[in-house]
Amino acid sequence: MEKVFALVDCNNFYASCEKMFRPDLADTAVVVLSNNDGCVVARSKEAKALGIKMGVPYFQIRELVEKHGVVAFSSNYALYADMSSRVMTTLEQLAPSIEVYSIDEAFVDLTGVDSCLGLSEFGQQIRTTISDWIGIKVCVGIAPSKTLAKLANHAAKKWSKAEGVVDLTDRVRQRKLMALLPVSEVWGIGSRITKRLNEMHIYTALDLADAPTKHIRSQFSVVVERTVSELNGDSCLRLEEVADKKKEIISSRSFSERITQLSQMQEAISEYVHRACEKLRSQKSNAMQLTVFLRTSPFSDRQTEPYYANSASGELIYPSNDTRDFLHLANQLLSKIWKEGYRYAKSGVMLTDFYDEGIRQQQLFADELGSRCNPALMAVVDQINQQHSRNAIYFAAKGTRQNWSMKRDLLSPAYTTCWSAIPKV
């Protein structure tokens, strides 16, 4: 049977979440900022109409914000994650199988649906249900491959005439739409590849769909080759219903103010280790390898302020998910790359080389003393932090004041969850 996918994508998701609890802002331009209130990461339709671009640094639009009374929010991920899970749960009730692709979008398998109900009607049903139950507006794109469903969704958002649903199962409609869209709008085609495609006189999505596969393969990786097949309605990407366990876990942040002292950096790195290990345990993995990295600001003037960035990796004797094992290693690694005299802007840690809990390779010369691994203790720590506040219990290494922590001056309240942010002290 011919495959049919739908892509359901929330409109202006973060901005919509903020607006939902502030009816007074219904017609106001709203933007949501990245961590440290650095860049714009979401815009309401009114903010888009003012010409505010995605990813623009907040300080560059200050004037515009004041002039038009734009309301800005620090990102409140606890709120967005909670709203997201409500949307996804609703979607699961409406469709046989879904793949949660990101916090605000999901693929749905609609294969066979058109025999009982028109695809467009089904799309409309999804829209109204999610809007009525959750209060979030979504758009739906329907097509025989994921890449085309993405394009259909793009069209549903762009053209109000579509009323939020575009059915692109028809080949003629596919070609008509692709001819109108620049190749850069295709899923998987980023700025670098767009530039090279343009040099090959490939400008629209249709140009790419019609490009000879052999030629594309000789210039790019198999990823681009697959994209061409997908644009031609040949589905190469399956619906991935169960999320795979992560293969690496990163915890990193930019600092609200530059860090110059090793003791502060040790605290920050310890905090990242703490968070990364929490994530590691939540997916029931153990890790062998830890990387610590740090850097000064890449945006400052190199003449007055030299740039320095470095990283160091190390391994445990065997896999663990005990925070203390990694705290110990992190400190050793940090001392390898720490250099006095720089103003550090960002640092972080990365866990890699994962093993499932309970699977442990026997090492000939390693004894139990090499690791502090204590699953029972860590389970208790996680449980207390989940039930009470996020930082009820922690290891003293990460510091109690955290005067380097991030700036979130414009944070909305915890409308739906018991905690929303680490309070800045």
Partner DNA sequence: TCTGGGGTCCTAGGACCC
Q: How far is the CB of 172 from DNA (least distance, A)?
A: 25
Helical (H) or strand (E) element with 383: helix 375-387
| Placement of tokens 């109108």 in the chain | 180
By CB under 7 A, name the one of 116, 160, 192, 242 that touches DNA. Answer: 192
By CB under 7 A, name the one of 84, 90, 254, 286 that touches DNA. Answer: 254
Q: How far is the CB of 115 from DNA (least distance, A)?
A: 30
- Which range binds DNA by CB under 7 A, 80-88, 199-207, 341-349, 362-370? 341-349
Q: How far is the CB of 44 from DNA (least distance, A)?
A: 17
DSSP string, 155-207: HHHH-GGGTTEEE--SHHHHHHHHHHSBGGGSTT--HHHHHHHHHTT--BHHH
By CB under 7 A, name the one of 11, 20, 25, 35 that touches DNA. Answer: 35
By CB under 7 A, name the one of 248, 262, 339, 379 that touches DNA. Answer: 248
* Cα distance between residue 293 and residue 307, in whole Å: 14
By CB under 7 A, name the one of 169, 232, 252, 264 that touches DNA. Answer: 252
By CB under 7 A, name the one of 55, 212, 341, 358 that touches DNA. Answer: 55
By CB under 7 A, name the one of 238, 247, 284, 336 that touches DNA. Answer: 247
CB 182 within 8 A of CB 155: no
422 binds DNA (CB under 7 A): no
346 binds DNA (CB under 7 A): yes
By CB under 7 A, name the one of 28, 111, 229, 300 that touches DNA. Answer: 300
**35 SS3 class:** helix
- Which range binds DNA by CB under 7 A, 135-143, 251-259, 324-332, 416-424? 251-259
* CA terminus-to-terminus distance, the chain: 59
- Would you say 10 or 327 has its CB closer to DNA? 10
Query: Residue 183, by phi and psi: left (phi above 0), alpha (psi -120 to 50) or beta?
Result: alpha
Structure tokens at 3: 């495959």
Helical (H) or strand (E) element with 315: strand 309-320
* 41 half-sphere exposure, CB direction, 13 A CA radius: 16
Helical (H) or strand (E) element with 379: helix 375-387
- Would you say 219 or 374 has its CB closer to DNA? 219
* Cα distance between residue 173 and residue 104, in whole Å: 26
Q: How far is the CB of 259 from DNA (least distance, A)?
A: 12
By CB under 7 A, name the one of 86, 157, 246, 328 that touches DNA. Answer: 246
Size of the site for DNA (CB under 7 A): 48
57 binds DNA (CB under 7 A): yes
By CB under 7 A, name the one of 44, 169, 204, 251 that touches DNA. Answer: 251
194 binds DNA (CB under 7 A): yes
* Cα distance between residue 124 and residue 144, in whole Å: 18
- Would you say 120 or 352 has its CB closer to DNA? 352
Binding mask 387-406 for DNA (x = CB under 7 A): -------------------x
By CB under 7 A, name the one of 29, 98, 134, 189 that touches DNA. Answer: 189
* Cα distance between residue 396 and residue 53, in whole Å: 41
295 binds DNA (CB under 7 A): no
- Which range binds DNA by CB under 7 A, 30-38, 120-128, 324-332, 357-365? 30-38
Structure tokens at 204: 């629209």
Strand partners, 314: 290
- Which range binds DNA by CB under 7 A, 33-41, 111-119, 369-377, 383-391? 33-41
By CB under 7 A, name the one of 20, 25, 39, 414 that touches DNA. Answer: 39
By CB under 7 A, name the one of 250, 317, 410, 422 that touches DNA. Answer: 250
Structure tokens at 79: 């709120």
Q: Tell me, rounded to whole angstroms, the distance of Cα 47 from its chain centroid.
A: 22
296 binds DNA (CB under 7 A): no
* Cα distance between residue 143 and residue 171, in whole Å: 10
Structure tokens at 198: 């343009």
